[in-house]
Amino acid sequence: MIMGAALLVLLGLGLFVAGLLTGVTAWYWACVAVCAAAAVLIVLARRSMSRAPVRTAAGAAGASGPVAAAPAETVTAATPAGTTESGASAAGAPVPAVRHDEPDDPPVEEVEVTDLLLIVDLTDEVLVVDEHPRYHVADCRWLQGRSTIPLPLDEARTDGFTPCGVCRPDRTLAARARARRSGS
Ligand SMILES: [Zn+2]
């Protein structure tokens, strides 16, 4: 309604300018007619505005309602997504559990810093046993008779596994890495 009035006023202005430019009286009359129509529209708009506050208030409430509800929805939507994500990572990949040392676990390998620096990023495969804290190389005698799970070394380390003191995987893999470097 207001937009219509504004358009009519613009049209009236255009007609007024046209009248000025051409000097044709008909343009002025057209302008007056358009302006009168605009005035009628504005009056009508004012009348509907005086009744409008209830509606606009309701509209504002309606508008703010969904806006206020939207974050809550995204929060509730995000929470199950996060749950399923962590659930998937817990259920999907068979991540072996790291437990505290038990009496039958081998001691932790004492690793030299130079070896540690070499192996810390390696993705060479090491073997872990579910619910035991050490990782091993394949020929470790402690692994005999146990079911092993292969893991990349960096993953085993970030999962909290520690090197086995019997088979000394860090030293073995560091030696392997040195051999690869000198070979290439
Ligand atoms: Zn071992």
- The parent domain of residue 74 ranges over 2-91
Q: What is the pLDDT of residues 45-101, one digit of tens each?
A: 677 666 555 554 444 444 444 444 444 444 444 444 444 444 444 445 566 777 777
How far does the centroid of ligand 1 lie from the alpha carbon of residue 158, in Å? Answer: 18
Does any domain span residue 106? no
- Of 12-21, 26-35, 54-63, 138-147, the poorest mean pLDDT is in 54-63
Taking the C-alpha atoms of residue 182 and residue 184, their distance in angstroms, rounded to an integer, is 6
What is the token pair recorded at 132? 């035991």
How far does the centroid of ligand 1 lie from the alpha carbon of residue 127, in Å? Answer: 8
Does any domain span residue 100? no
Does any domain span residue 48? yes
Q: Answer for the pair 106, 135: CB distance below 8 angstroms, yes or no.
A: no
Q: Are residues 61 and 28 in the same domain?
A: yes
Does any domain span residue 31? yes
How far does the centroid of ligand 1 lie from the alpha carbon of residue 129, in Å? Answer: 10
Q: Is the dihedral of CA 134, 137, 142, 145 positive or negative?
A: positive
Per the structure, the count of domains in the chain is: 2
What is the token pair recorded at 39? 């005035």
Residue 178's CATH number: 3.40.10
Which among 58, 91, 124 is the end of a domain? 91
